[in-house]
Structure 1
Amino acid sequence: MDQTWFKLQNGSDVRGVALEGVEGEAVNLTPEIVRPIGYAFAQWLAEKKGKPVSELKIAVGHDSRLSAEMVKTAVFQGVEKAGCSEIADSGLSSTPAMFMATVFDNHAYDGSIMLTASHLPFNRNGLKFFTRDGGLEKADIKAILTTATETGTFDEVELSKVRKIELMDDYAASLVSNIRKGAGQGDTPLAGLKIVVDAGNGAGGYFVDKVLKPLGADTTGSQFLDPDGSFPNHIPNPEEPEAMDAIISAVENNKADLGIIFDTDVDRAGAVDKNGKPINRNRFIALMSTIVLEEHPGTVIVTDSVTSTGLKYWIEEKLGGVHHRFKRGYKNVINESIRLNGEDRESWLAMETSGHGALKENYFLDDGAYQIAKILIKTAQLHGEGKGGVDTLVDGLPEPAEAKEYRAKITTEDFGPYGDDVLKAFEQFVADEPGWNATPNNFEGVHVTVDASAGNGWALLRKSLHDPVLPLNIESEEAGGVAKIAARMQAFLSQFDSLDVPEMV
């Protein structure tokens, strides 16, 4: 079978290079390749829904990427060739809104497609697919790409069924309604608060005019709201120090009560408190856990595998919840939370340190704007009660003295089995190493707890979800502890000929 389409699968998404401009990255997401994917999604959706393609309605939206119009037109042509009854163009949109296109009563599309490559460079693009049941799984993407392969390329198709819709207006209005209802302080619960937004020139600029201003907030100092897929100011990514520095500066320069930052397609978010301290990674999960556990005492909070020891204390000892540290990958944590609910183990929140997060009350949708809405409700309530900002909710969160991530590249072509061999050898290494013990209830890679004599922290060695890499995360409760642990890790990893190990000490 032609592997052209299968090489575009990135877990539960499709991603590729849509534009030239980066040395060594050949374009592989062309209109000729995209058309059969649009066609194949319509075929898959018809089978999923159990009705003819001719009765299907599909919505398509995109973020600010430079290749958006080109890719969107190709998707439209594929869907039109399939024979769908209606194709909706929602224009500049967020990923969460594209899911809601299948849910809102005045839209109720059978399926939707979001064109995005998240925070990746300007030359990339991709496709995310949704039905009312949520985002597609890996097996679904494989099935769609199989049909695309069997269909093969075809010529341009004249478009006759595409119509414009104002989906983002409806989505923003739903956020405003939720915040007003949750805050319980009238139409302008954010009056008297200065809140700045950094959209990173992605799709999140709408949040200022369509959400914050109607709620009464002063948004003076918000920045990079205009969509620009060249990302001229910084990459829209709440994990990137440069991006966080930008929103920190905006908060400090404007004496804001809260700063908000979104990634390109607004399925991830981060924040900055009034003191200029970031609310991302473990601190973001701690804040969301505090809010959710107040509403649902004792619930299970599912996180990825690299969360801190302090976060576990915060969720379980401070808040009385249950911390279930699972695997990296937003679909992994979401699906695990759904699985626990299916076993009658109540779980209302699934979050990654990357900023991906989903709540049971919101269809387990990976939605950065909805998380921020929850934070804004609490911000309004605290302000109305004269109790300060949301930073007070995470006062006392234990944070590690040091934390570091390293990435060892696997240089052999058959990198999956090789990574497994390294992890198996590491298990034995841990068993023989003084002061090191395998951490119980671990679900990804090899997690080790290191006692005070050997570094006072932990290390996690795992396989990357998609790349020929072994990420290594190390955290320590003491200054110099990471170096102690890293020195032993470097000694272990350096014995493997097909590992390109970075300098750690």
Structure 2
Amino acid sequence: MLPTPRADIAPNTLDYENVPLVAPQGFREYDARWLFEKEINLLGVQALGLGLGTLIHELGVKPEIAVGHDYRSYSTSIKQALITGLLTAGVKVHDIGLALSPVAYFSQFALDVPCVAMVTASHNENGWTGVKMGANRPLTFGPDEMSRLKEIVLGGEGKSRDGGGYAYVDDMRDRYIADMTDRPKLKRKLKVVAACGNGTAGAFMPDVLKATGAEIIPLDCELDHTFPRYNPNPEDMEMLHALRDAVLEHKADVGLAFDGDGDRCGVVDNTGEEIFADKVGVMLARDLAQQHPNAKFVVDVKSTGLFLTDPVLQKLGATTDYWKTGHSYIKRRSHELGALVGFEKSGHYFFNTPIGRGYDDGCVAALAVLDMLERAPDRSMADLKNDLPKTWGSPTMSPHCPDDKKYGVVDKVVAHYTAKFVAGETLMGQKIRDVVTVNGIRLTLEDGTWGLVRASSNKPGLVVVVESPASEENLRAMFEEIDGVLSQHPEVGEYDQKL
């Protein structure tokens, strides 16, 4: 058996080669992420695989799992260490090779296996690694499963069992692409820029999009694990601005940006203007509600208030439930409520039957955008965007805050604004209309201007989002209000981006 993992092992030592290094903070709310070699070593990954296999047996599901990895330089070795642990735990492993997260989720259905483990740090910077896991397709682990996995791994409770097995699946990429392209070709002639940030999506998305009949201009689709131009994150303005420049250069109808593991999609319209993913969600909800009257949607608390106030959605009988941010949370909530789609501001979209299988897939989202344009042959992407009621919104902004401090800071911010709300105090000369504390705090003023503060679920930082249907001035005033409160906490550091 492996020694019990520790969190205090220095690299380049005897212990580092013999004892699993696993930092506790790597177990997040709904997946796991560490700085490789600093917070977890290969023996630690092996211990994680042993713990995951033990949990699979504990959950009483068939001990069979699909495992894939992204294109980071170290992901293959991490996947092999994870597989070693799973085999030791008596789990049959289907190794699907290089994959996107949605390809791994797809493989659960294609191979008829209940469990999945995808080695990826998604859009996190190089140096990070992680695993997205599930044992009940199409759902992935939530806090309960992640807490139990943490107990098993850190407590050395992983158990060796007989019955493990290994099979390499060499055609999952082809099977996924065939599934995505089994659809009628577009009748509308569309020119599309596809940006992949040199991440794993470059091996999948251009081929799928070409099969629609659209003209595809690839942007940074060559695989390069150094991410030489920008981090593949469709929420980062650097990636969106590169996409904007390409859209304008090629006079494209739309630009689509995919993150490192392909489960998110960002959009730039034909004028080169980025459309934040929650606004794209409203546009898609309008289109889909035409096809599915009285449709139900789920959105995260970072998302625009238009899902509730948009007159078109109201006329079509659409209803929306706001829920916790996080792909596992929105996926589960959408599944539980039977929603047609779940939308996250980060660009995770969860299309349920008859559009998708319930998991987040940037490719399905991209195809939905193209289908929306197909159904509006006389309208451009900018036209559809401009049809929405005007609001001024921010990108997702993330000030640094250590993992062991961020939840405490958020608790203090929640208490601060809740007290103001209860006391009937004003902000920006307005009363606070309501507060939502299901995930951090989202406070809304009388004119609909709102701000959100929550802890990031997958990195050491907070999340700040603001929006105003009244004016850009009120948007900025709300950000300054929240930023002023956060600046009183010395644990809060620099932002990754600001207004």
- TM-score range relative to shorter protein: 0.7 to 0.9
Q: Would you say 1:33 and 2:44 are equivalent positions?
A: yes
Give the structure 2 partner of residue 482 of structure 1.
475
Matched residues in 1 for 2:489 and 2:141: separation?
A: 37
2-structure distance, mates of 1:50, 1:405: 37
Q: 2:431 aligns with which of 411, 414, 436?
A: 436
Q: Deviations over 1:78-132 (max 9, x none)?
A: 22323444x332222110111111112xx22342211101111111111111334
How big is the shift at 1:500?
6.5
Instruction: Give the match for residue 360 of structure 1.
Output: 352
Partner of 2:17: none
Structure 1 equivalent of residue 320 of structure 2 = 323
SS of corresponding position for 2:340: strand
Distance across 2 between alignment mates of 1:363 and 1:450: 37
Identify the residue that residue 73 of structure 2 maps to in structure 1: 66
CA deviation map 1:199-248 (0-9, x unaligned): 111111234553123332222x3121122221111111111111011112
Question: Could you give the per-residue CA deviations for residues 269-323 of structure 1, whole angstroms, max 9, x where no partner exists?
Answer: 0122323232332321112212321222222322122323445322644654223
Do structure 1's residue 124 and structure 2's residue 110 form an aligned pair? no
Label 1:47 to 1:461 Cα distance change in 2 as closer, same or farther (>3 A).
Answer: closer
SS class of match (1:387): coil
Return the letter of the residue paired with 1:263: D
Give the structure 2 partner of residue 24 of structure 1. Answer: none
Q: Is contact 1:169-1:210 (8 Å) kept?
A: no
Alignment-derived partner of residue 167 in structure 1: 172
Map of 1:396 onto structure 2 = 387
Q: Is the 8 A contact 1:36 1:152 kept in 2?
A: no
SS in 2 for 1:261: strand
CA distance in 2, matches of 1:142, 1:492: 31
Unaligned runs of 5+ in 2: 8-21
- On the 8 A contact 2:234/2:240 being kept in 1, the answer is yes
Residue type at the aligned position of 2:83: F
The residue number in structure 2 matching 1:212 is 209
State the alpha-carbon separation in 2 of the partners of residues 142 and 393 from structure 1.
Answer: 43
Indicate conservation of the 8 Å contact 2:285/2:313, yes or no. no
How many residue pairs get aligned? The number is: 468
More moved, 436-445 vs 62-71: 436-445
Please identify, of 433-442 and 277-286, the stretch whose mean Cα deviation from structure 2 is larger.
433-442
Whether 1:374 aligns to 2:362 is: no
The superposition leaves residues 242-281 of structure 1 with CA deviations (integer Å, 9 ceiling, x where unpaired) of 1011112222212222221100001110122323232332
Match of 1:457 in 2: 449
Q: CA deviation at 1:388?
A: 3.8
Residue 321 of structure 2 aligns to a residue whose secondary structure is strand
Please, which of 253, 265, 271 is the counterpart of residue 267 of structure 2?
A: 271
Deviations 1:385-439 (A, max 9, x none): x424444444321232464766677789665455424422322224222522232
Mapped contact 2:48–2:82 kept (Cα < 8 A): yes
**AA partner of residue 357 (structure 2):** Y
**1:65-214 to 2 correspondence within 5 Å?**
65-85=72-92, 87-104=93-110, 107-133=111-137, 134-151=139-156, 161-177=166-182, 179-180=183-184, 188-189=185-186, 192-208=189-205, 210-214=207-211
Give the CA deviation at 1:73: 1.4
CA distance in 1, matches of 2:66, 2:181: 23
Deviation at 1:340, TM superposition (A): 2.8
Q: Verify the 8 A CA contact 1:404 1:482 in the aligned structure 2.
A: no
Q: Identity of aligned pairs, percent? A: 23
Distance 1:369 1:39 in 2: 32
2:135 aligned partner, one-letter code: T
The answer to whether the Cα contact below 8 Å between 2:152 and 2:158 also exists between their aligned partners in 1 is no
Separation in 1, partners of 2:233, 2:474: 28
Q: In the alignment, is residue 427 of structure 1 matched against residue 418 of structure 2?
A: yes
Q: Please give the alpha-carbon distance, in whole angstroms, between the structure 2 residues aligned to 1:35 and 1:228.
A: 26
Match of 1:234 in 2: 230
For 2:308, the aligned partner's letter is K
Q: 1:401 to 1:318 in 2, by over 3 A?
A: farther
Q: Could you say if the C-alpha distance between residues 45 and 412 of structure 1 is closer, same or farther in structure 2, counting changes exceeding 3 Å?
A: closer
1:340 paired residue among 337, 342, 346? 337
Paired residues of 2:70 and 2:261 also in contact (CA < 8 A): yes
User: Secondary structure at the residue paired with 2:43?
Assistant: helix
Distance change >3 Å, CA 463–CA 172, structure 1 → 2? same
Conservation of the 8 A alpha-carbon contact between 2:240 and 2:274: yes
Offset at residue 486 of structure 1 (A): 4.7
Aligned to 1:43: 54
For structure 1, list consecutive stretches of 5 or more residues without a partner in the other structure: 20-26, 181-187, 342-346
Instruction: Return the alpha-carbon distance in structure 2 between the equivalents of residues 32 and 117 of structure 1.
Output: 18
| CA–CA distance in structure 1, aligned partners of residues 275 and 27 of structure 2 | 32
Of the structure 1 ranges 475-484 and 227-236, higher mean CA displacement relative to structure 2 is found in 475-484
Are residues 237 and 190 of structure 1, via their aligned partners in 2, closer, same or farther at CA, if it must alter by over 3 Å?
farther
Give the counterpart of 1:259 among 255, 259, 265.
255
Q: Aligned in 2, Cα 1:161/1:253: closer, same or farther, shift over 3 Å?
A: same
Paired residue type of 1:432: E
Evaluate the alpha carbon distance shift between residue 501 and residue 287 of structure 1 in structure 2; reply closer, same or farther with a 3 A threshold. same
| Contact 1:292–1:349 under 8 Å retained in 2 | no
Post-superposition offset of 1:462:
3.9
Relative to structure 1, is the Cα distance of residues 411 and 307 closer, same or farther in structure 2, using a 3 angstrom cutoff? closer
> What's the CA shift string for 1:440-480, capped at 9, x where partnerless?
6664444333346xxx7233344444667554433332242
- Note if contact 2:32-2:130 (Cα within 8 Å) is conserved in structure 1: yes
Partner SS for 1:205 = helix
